[in-house]
Amino acid sequence: MGASFNKDDEAIADINITPFVDIILVVLIIFMVTTPIIMNPGIKIQLPKAASGEETKQTKLNVSIAKDGKILLNGAVENDNSLAQKVKDLVAKNKEIQAIIAADKDVAHGTVIRVIDIVKSNGVSKFAISTEK
């Protein structure tokens, strides 16, 4: 016959986990390197400091104002008209929505007031200003 069966030719019953551990470690390193890149927002905003800040609830109406005056709604760049329309749409879905406005500390006060006016004139009755403790 072509095959011989000896007592020494037993099947390997142990699982070698060394390759599995190697793969998991490589995946862990990839996640550790890419997570800070993914988690950093595309726009850097230095919030003004305040000693009496409180935590705010999560909302779908996050307005950010960059140092150069760009207005962002949930991370997407908007102009005044498109911001107003999108705020109206969000208010139509949820009358009790709260706006969270985050403005860079170097943004002109008038720009912040203009954004607050756009938000309030389109139906938002509650809003919060983001600060850093």
Round to whole Å and give the CA distance between 9 and 7.
6
Regarding the domain delimited by 62-129, which CATH topology (the fold level of the hierarchy) does it fall under? Nucleotidyltransferase; domain 5 (3.30.420)
The mean pLDDT of the chain is 80
Mean pLDDT of 33-58: 66
* Lowest model confidence (mean pLDDT) among 18-22, 45-49, 91-95, 112-116: 45-49
Mean pLDDT of 86-94: 89
Identify the pLDDT of residue 1.
Answer: 46
Q: Are 38 and 60 contacting, i.e. CB atoms less than 8 angstroms apart?
A: no
Going from N- to C-terminal start, the domains of the chain cover: 62-129
Neighbours of 123 (CB within 10 A): 13
